[in-house]
Structure 1
Amino acid sequence: MTSEVIIDVHPKEISIALLEDKSLVEYQNETRSASFSVGNIYMAKVKKLMPGLNACFVDVGFERDAFLHYLDLGSQFSSYEKYLKQVQSDRKKLYPISKATRLPELKKDGSVQTTLKVGQEVMVQIVKEPISTKGPRLTCELSFAGRYMVLIPFNDKVSVSSKIKKGEERTRLKQLIQSIKPKNFGVIVRTSAEGKRVAELDKEMKTLLKRWEDTITKVQKSTTRPQVVYEETGRVVALLRDLFNPTYDGIYVNDEEVFNQVRDYVKLIAPEKVDIVKRYTGQVPIFDNFNVTKQIKSAFGKTVNYKRGAYLIIEHTEALHVVDVNSGNRTRSENGQEANALEVNLGAADELARQLRLRDMGGIIVVDFIDMNLAEDRQMLYERMCKNMQKDRARHNILPLSKFGLMQITRQRVRPAMDVNVEETCPTCFGKGKIKSSILFTDQLESKIDRLVTKIGIKKFNLHVHPYVAAYINQGLFSLKRKWQMKYGLGLSIIPSQKLAFLQYEFYDKKGNFIDMKEEIETK
C-alpha cells in the first residue's frame, strides 16, 4: 500500500489530505487564524460553579466558557495547586518541580464546591474543541505529547501502549523509561516507540521536558489571565506527529515556510526519510494534481455513491450521526435478494469506515443496513466492519446488528465533524437566477484582464478557471490565450482549477495572493 500526504497551504487556511493507494482517507482543513486546538494549555479563572453537575465553567478567553468537571481535575490537583503558588510567589527564580511536594490524591467522590471557588486560578488543557453550541472541554491533568511518548507532570507511573504485545519489549521500554525520566513525571509510551533505542527516546524526553519548563516559566512571569501558556504545534506538524509512518512514499507541500517546518520535523524524528518531503512547484493547484479535489467533491455531502449504483445517505444531528444504506438502481444479484443485500452491505461497510475517518465523525453513529435474514451474513458484516475500523486511530466501539438491522458505533469525538459543502453557489448571479449571456463570458474575462493590466498595473498574474473553460481558452493554434498574451503581455497564465464552478474565475498574482476582481454589478 502506498501512502502520501498532500499539504495545500493558502494565506487563510491549510488543508491536509492523506491518500492510501491514491484514495482519500483523511482530510483536515483549518483556518490559519484558528486560536483553539486540542493540547493548548491556559492559565485561566473559574467563572461559575455548577454544584448540580459537580463541575464549573472556566474563562479561557473564548466566546463560550469552557467546561471542567470535578473528575477532570485529576488525582494530583492539590499538588498542582500548591506548586503553582510556589512558582508564582517568586517571579525571578523558578521553583523546580523535582523539589515539589506530592500531596494526597483528590477523592473521586469529592465536590467541586469544596475544591474550587469563583475567581480561583487554574492551569487547564483543552481536550475537546468547541462543538456546536458547547464550549471547549478541559482537564487539569496536563500532558505533553511527542512521537514516542506522552509526558505527564505529577505522575510517577510509566505505562506502555497495549498495542505493543511482546512481553520482553514492554518490560524493556518500561525499565528504560524509568531510568531516564526525572522525578515527579509520569510517561505513557506510545506504540511508535517499539524497537527504538535509548538515545532516540532520551532525545524526545528532553524535548518534552523543555516544553514543560517553557510553559511553567511563562506561568511564573505573566500576570494576565486568561492566557495561553503553551500552544500545541502547528496543525501540519501535529497531524504528522500522530500519522507519520516510515513507509510513507511522499509528503508534498506547496508552501516554502510549511515545507521547511515539515522537513525539519521529519529530520528530527526520522532522519533517513527526510527526502520524502518534497516541495510542489507546479502551476496546477496541488490538490488537482493529486486528484484530491475531485475526491473531496464526491466523498462529502449528504449522498455518497460507492459501487455499482449503491449509495449512502449521511445525516448529522445534534445527538448523533445517522447513515442509511441504499442499493439504488443496481441490478439484482443472480443468487437472489439475500446475496444482493449482503454485497451492498459489505460495500457500505468499506465506504463507511473510510467516511468516518475522512469526516472525523464522532459520538454515536447509527447505521441502517439493508435487512438480511441469515445470521451468518449479519455476523460477516459485523466482522467486516470491525476489520475496516482497525486502521482508525480514534477510539471506537462497534455493536453487532440489532434485531431492527441497525448497527451502533461510538467513536471518540475531539473536534467537530468535518463538513465540506460540495454544493456550488452560482458565482455569476449570486443566487439571483439571472446572468449575462454565457457566450459573453470570455469577453467579460478580457475586460477584467484589461483593467488589471492597464489600470491597476499588475502585469504578471494567474487566471484560475474551470477546466472546461480553460480548454476552450487554450484551444487552437491561435487561441484566445495567445491573443490575450499578445495584447496584454506574456505575464498572463491560464490555470485549470477543479474547485471552481463552471463560470467562476479567480485572479492570483505571481506570489499566490488573491486579487478580488468580482463585482456583483456584472450580473445585472
Structure 2
Amino acid sequence: MSSDLIIDVTPSEVVIALLENKRLVELTREKSGAKFAVGDIYLARVKKIMPSLNAAFIDVGYEKDAFLHYLDMGPQFSTLNKFMKIASSPKNRISSLSKIQSEPDINKEGKVTEVLKAGQNILVQIAKEPISTKGPRLTSELSIAGRNLVLMPFSEKISISQKISSTEEKNRLKKLIQSIRPRKYGVIVRTVAEGKRVAELDQELKKLVAKFETIFQKLKRAQAPSLIVGEIDRTTALLRDIYNPNFSSVIVNDAAVADDIAEYLGTIDPEKRKIVKLYKGGQPIFEHFGIEKQIKSSFGKTVSFKSGAYLIIEHTEAFHVIDVNSGNRSKAGVDQETNALEVNLAAAEEIARQLRLRDMGGIIVIDFIDMHNAENRLKVYERMKEAMGADRTKHNILPLSKFCLMQITRQRVRPEEHVETAEVCPSCKGTGKVTPTILFTDELDNKVNYIFKDLNKKGLTLKVHPYVAAFLTKGLMSQKRKWAFKFLRRVTIEGVNSMSFLEYHFFDDNMEEIIL
C-alpha cells in the first residue's frame, strides 16, 4: 500500500491530506499560531477545586478553564510538584532530573483537596484539545513523544508496544532500553522501534531527555499561565506518527515547510529525503491532485460508497449515528441475506475510513442492514476490526447485536473535522434570483477596467469556472485578447473545477486576491 501526504500551506492555516492508494483517509487542519495542541506542557494555575467531581479547573490561558481529574494527576504528582518548585527557584543549580529525590506516590483513591489548593502553580500537559464548549482536558503524567520512543519523566517503568508480536523482540528491546535509560525516566517503546539498533534508540532517548530538561531553564523566568514545552507542529507530528517505508511522496506548496519536512525525514530515514517535493503548479494543490473532489464527495450527511448503497451520518452532542442503506442496489438471483451481507461488508470499510477522515470520537452507533444469520453478523464484526486496524486512535468495537447495531468508542482528543459540502450560490447569495447572465461579461469588463485604471495593476489572473474560462478565451478576438489590447497589460484566465458557474476571483502578480 502506497501512502502520499499532500500539504496545502496558506497564510491562515495548514491543511494536511493523507492518501492511501490515492484515496483520501485523513484530513487535518492546523491554524497558524494555534495553541493548546495535544502534547503541549504548560505552567498553569489552579483556579477552582471541585470536591464533588474529585477534580479541579485549571487556568492555562484559554478562554475556558481546563479540566484536571484526580486520576489524571498520576502517582508521581508529589515528585512533579517538588521538581517544579526546585526548577522555579532562582537559586536552583540542578539541571538533571536524576538529582531530585523522589517523593512517595499519591494515594490512588485519594481526594483532590489533599494535593491541590486554589492559586497553586502546577505543571500540566494537554491531553485533549478544546472541543465545542469545553476547555482543554489535562494530565499531570507528562510525556515527550519521539519517533521510536515516548519518554515518561518521574517513572521507572519500561513498556513495549502490544503491536510488536514477537516475544523475543520484546525482550530484546526491554533489555536494550534498560541499559540506556537514565534514572527517573520511564520509556514506552513504540511499534516502529521493532528491529532498531541500540545506537539509534540511544540517540533519540538523549534528544527527548534534553528536550524535557529545558524545563529547568524555562521555569526560572516563567509566569503562570504560560507554555513551557510545545509539541512539534502538526505536519511533523503526523509524519512522526504515521511515516513508514511505503511513503512514496510528500508534496508541499511552500518551500520553507518542504525544507523543514525534508530535514526531519533526513533524521529518521535519510534515503527518503528525496520523496519531499515542492509543488509549483498554477492550479491549487488540492485541485491538481483531485483531493478537493474527494473532500466534497466524502463529507456531508449522505455518503455513497458502492453500487448505489450509501451511509447517512448524523451527529449529536452525545454520540454519532450511522445508518447503512442499500439504496437501489440489488442483484438478480441473490437472496436478501446475501445482499445485506455484501452491503454491510462494504459499509464497514467505508465507515472505518469515515471515522479517520472526520476524526469522529466518543460513542458511534452503526445501524447495519438486518441479517438473521449470526455467522454473517460475525463476518461484519471481523471486517470492521480489520478495517480499523490502520486507525492509530484508541478505539473499542463491540459485536453486532441481534438487531444489527454495532457500538464503537473512539478516543476524542481534538475537534471533529467538519467540511460544509452544500454551498451558498455565489451568484444569487441564497436569494434565488440572479443578475441576467447576458450582463455577466459587462460586469467582468467593468471590474477589469477598475483594476487596471484605478488600482494600476500591471498584471491580472482571473479564476472562473472552466466553462466560463472557455467562453472568455474562445476565438481569435476573445474577451481575454480584447482586455490585453485595450489595457496593454497581461491577462491570464484559469478554469477551476471547484468554482460554481458564475463565480469569479481576481488575483494580482503576487497571486494575492484583489477584493472588490
Task: Give the TM-score, by structure 1 length.
Answer: 0.95
User: Quick check: 208-217 or 303-312, which moved more?
Assistant: 208-217
Q: Which residue of structure 1 aligns with residue 392 of structure 2? A: 393
Q: Which residue of structure 2 aligns with residue 520 of structure 1? A: none
- Work out whether residues 27 and 359 of structure 1, in 8 Å CA contact, stay in contact via their aligned partners in 2: yes
Q: Which residue of structure 2 aligns with residue 338 of structure 1? A: 337
Shift of residue 220 of structure 1?
1.9
Q: CA RMSD for the aligned pairs?
A: 1.7
Counterpart CA distance in 1 for 2:127 and 2:316 is: 22
Counterpart CA distance in 1 for 2:244 and 2:476 is: 48
Q: Which residue of structure 1 aligns with residue 482 of structure 2? A: 483
Counterpart CA distance in 2 for 1:115 and 1:390 is: 40
Shift of residue 490 of structure 1?
5.5
Counterpart CA distance in 1 for 2:360 and 2:5 is: 20
Counterpart CA distance in 2 for 1:158 and 1:341 is: 47
**1:205-354 alignment runs, 5 A limit:** 205-222=205-222, 224-354=223-353
- Work out whether residues 161 and 191 of structure 1, in 8 Å CA contact, stay in contact via their aligned partners in 2: yes
- Work out whether residues 169 and 194 of structure 2, in 8 Å CA contact, stay in contact via their aligned partners in 1: yes
Task: Give the TM-score, by structure 2 length.
Answer: 0.96
Q: Which residue of structure 1 aligns with residue 380 of structure 2? A: 381
- Work out whether residues 459 and 492 of structure 1, in 8 Å CA contact, stay in contact via their aligned partners in 2: no
Residues 1:60 and 2:60 are matched in the alignment? yes
Q: Which residue of structure 2 aligns with residue 445 of structure 1? A: 444
Shift of residue 91 of structure 1?
5.3
Residues 1:429 and 2:404 are matched in the alignment? no
Q: Which residue of structure 2 aligns with residue 192 of structure 1? A: 192
Shift of residue 501 of structure 1?
2.6
Q: Which residue of structure 2 aligns with residue 88 of structure 1? A: 88
Secondary structure in 2 matching 1:283: coil
Counterpart CA distance in 1 for 2:31 and 2:498 is: 18
Query: CA 1:323–1:124 in structure 2 vs 1: closer, same or farther (change >3 Å)?
Result: same
Counterpart CA distance in 2 for 1:381 and 1:333 is: 23
Q: Report the residue type matching 1:408 in the other structure.
A: Q
Counterpart CA distance in 1 for 2:471 and 2:330 is: 38
Secondary structure in 2 matching 1:249: strand
- Work out whether residues 88 and 216 of structure 2, in 8 Å CA contact, stay in contact via their aligned partners in 1: no
Name the % identity.
55
Query: CA 1:510–1:231 in structure 2 vs 1: closer, same or farther (change >3 Å)?
Result: farther
- Work out whether residues 95 and 216 of structure 2, in 8 Å CA contact, stay in contact via their aligned partners in 1: no
Secondary structure in 1 matching 2:353: helix
Counterpart CA distance in 2 for 1:471 and 1:33 is: 40
**1:59-138 alignment runs, 5 A limit:** 59-90=59-90, 93-138=93-138
Counterpart CA distance in 2 for 1:25 and 1:478 is: 46
User: Quick check: 122-131 or 440-449, which moved more?
Assistant: 440-449
Shift of residue 466 of structure 1?
2.5
Q: Report the residue type matching 2:79 in the other structure.
A: S
Query: CA 1:439–1:180 in structure 2 vs 1: closer, same or farther (change >3 Å)?
Result: farther
Query: CA 1:204–1:472 in structure 2 vs 1: closer, same or farther (change >3 Å)?
Result: farther
Q: Report the residue type matching 1:144 in the other structure.
A: I
In the alignment, structure 2 segments of 5+ residues that lack a partner are none
Secondary structure in 2 matching 1:131: coil
Q: Which residue of structure 2 aligns with residue 521 of structure 1? A: none
Query: CA 1:214–1:453 in structure 2 vs 1: closer, same or farther (change >3 Å)?
Result: farther
Q: Report the residue type matching 1:469 in the other structure.
A: V
Shift of residue 433 of structure 1?
2.9
Q: Which residue of structure 1 aligns with residue 39 of structure 2? A: 39
Shift of residue 448 of structure 1?
2.1
Secondary structure in 1 matching 2:498: coil
Counterpart CA distance in 1 for 2:159 and 2:344 is: 39
Q: Which residue of structure 2 aligns with residue 473 of structure 1? A: 472
Shift of residue 3 of structure 1?
1.3
Query: CA 1:52–1:92 in structure 2 vs 1: closer, same or farther (change >3 Å)?
Result: closer
- Work out whether residues 94 and 217 of structure 1, in 8 Å CA contact, stay in contact via their aligned partners in 2: no
Shift of residue 180 of structure 1?
1.9
Q: Report the residue type matching 2:412 in the other structure.
A: R
Secondary structure in 2 matching 1:383: helix
Listed one character per residue, the Cα deviations across residues 203-224 of structure 1 (whole Å, up to 9, x for unaligned) are 21222122112233211222x2
Q: Which residue of structure 2 aligns with residue 370 of structure 1? A: 369
Q: Report the residue type matching 1:240 in the other structure.
A: L
Counterpart CA distance in 2 for 1:174 and 1:442 is: 72
Secondary structure in 1 matching 2:155: coil
Secondary structure in 2 matching 1:250: strand
Secondary structure in 1 matching 2:101: coil
Counterpart CA distance in 1 for 2:36 and 2:459 is: 37
Listed one character per residue, the Cα deviations across residues 219-269 of structure 1 (whole Å, up to 9, x for unaligned) are 1222x2200111111111111111111211100000111111111111111
Q: Which residue of structure 2 aligns with residue 159 of structure 1? A: 159
**1:404-423 alignment runs, 5 A limit:** 404-423=403-422
Shift of residue 332 of structure 1?
4.2
Listed one character per residue, the Cα deviations across residues 274-309 of structure 1 (whole Å, up to 9, x for unaligned) are 000000000011111110000000000001011111
Q: Which residue of structure 1 aligns with residue 169 of structure 2? A: 169
Counterpart CA distance in 2 for 1:203 and 1:440 is: 68
In the alignment, structure 1 segments of 5+ residues that lack a partner are 518-524
Shift of residue 510 of structure 1?
3.7
